[in-house]
Amino acid sequence: MCATCGCSSPAVVRLVTADHEHAAHEHEGHAHESHEHNGPGGERTVELQQKVLAKNDRLAGANRDWLRQRDILAVNLMSSPGAGKTTLLERTAAELAGQVSLSVIEGDQAAALDATRIRAAGCQVVQVNTGVGCHLDAEMVAEALRVLDPPGGSVVVIENVGNLVCPALFDLGEQARVVLASVTEGADKPVKYPHMFRQADLVLVTKTDLLPYVDFDTERHAADVRSLRPAAELLPLSATTGAGMRDWYDWLRRRTAGHHAR
């Protein structure tokens, strides 16, 4: 995992807020540090993975407690690059304004393009730049939550770095995981990336307005998802045309109401 993809090296994490678009809070990330050099490479990789995930899980538990104390629902939004996460959030923020108190943590390796789009839609947002890191981790989210300071009883959506591998491994302290699968990617993603779909509470099949123009077997895709995660809900939608968005909003409201009722 991270020992081979490069993000095990210490990375600079930039938190970009509205007032500090270009020169934001920076610190040296420590969630991926490892100083183990003994044994063959395979053993070291396993040891690093265990060490990284154990530390991350402890911090994720602290995030979960922090969110629970404030009655905040956190949703981890994951997909491959270009599946439509930001477009989904733009429309969601605009159409649920005044109905749901929504704020966003944006995760990308560099730049603040997505945060700018979300802010323009009227939503409070903090951008996390992970540098060489290919996913968000619990430590990054903890600092982003402190900067974001979401109000009690609200919803925080964490738009993870576009990647179908590492984000599935890292608990951020969220209460729900949503995976986007765009029809432009092909229907084979659940088979090729099973761990991601095995973690999903909801799978959104996005860009359905393009179905007439692409080869996407909806029945096969749904069957593969259900074989991995029978309890997952599947909702088709297009954030461009608005088709299916009401079902997404209903899911979000139900999840929010259920969370607040606990």
Residue 2 lies in a domain: no
- Give per-residue pLDDT as tens, 244-261: 999 999 999 999 987 766
The structural domain count of the chain equals 1
- pLDDT one-digit tens code per residue, 209-249: 999 999 999 999 999 999 999 999 999 999 999 999 999 99
Give a yes or no: residue 8 inside a domain: no
Does any domain span residue 12? Answer: no
**Cα-to-chain-centroid distance, residue 207:** 18
Q: Buried b vs exposed e over 23-58: b needs ≥16 C-beta within 10 Å?
A: ebeeeebebbebeeeeeeeeeebeebbeebbebbee
Residue 4: inside a domain: no
What is the DSSP code (8-state) at residue 164? S
Mean pLDDT of 153-171: 96
Residue 12's DSSP bridge partners are 28
Q: Is residue 127 part of a domain?
A: yes
Structural domain that includes position 38: 23-261
Residue 16: inside a domain, yes or no?
no
Of 201, 142, 126, the closest CA to residue 168 belongs to 201
Q: Report yes or no on 10 lying in a domain.
A: no
Is residue 252 assigned to a domain? yes
Model pTM score = 0.84
CATH number at residue 193: 3.40.50.300
DSSP secondary structure string for all residues of 237-252: --TTT-TTHHHHHHHH
Report the alpha-carbon distance of residue 225 to residue 189 in Å, rounded.
Answer: 9
pLDDT in the model for residue 17? 61
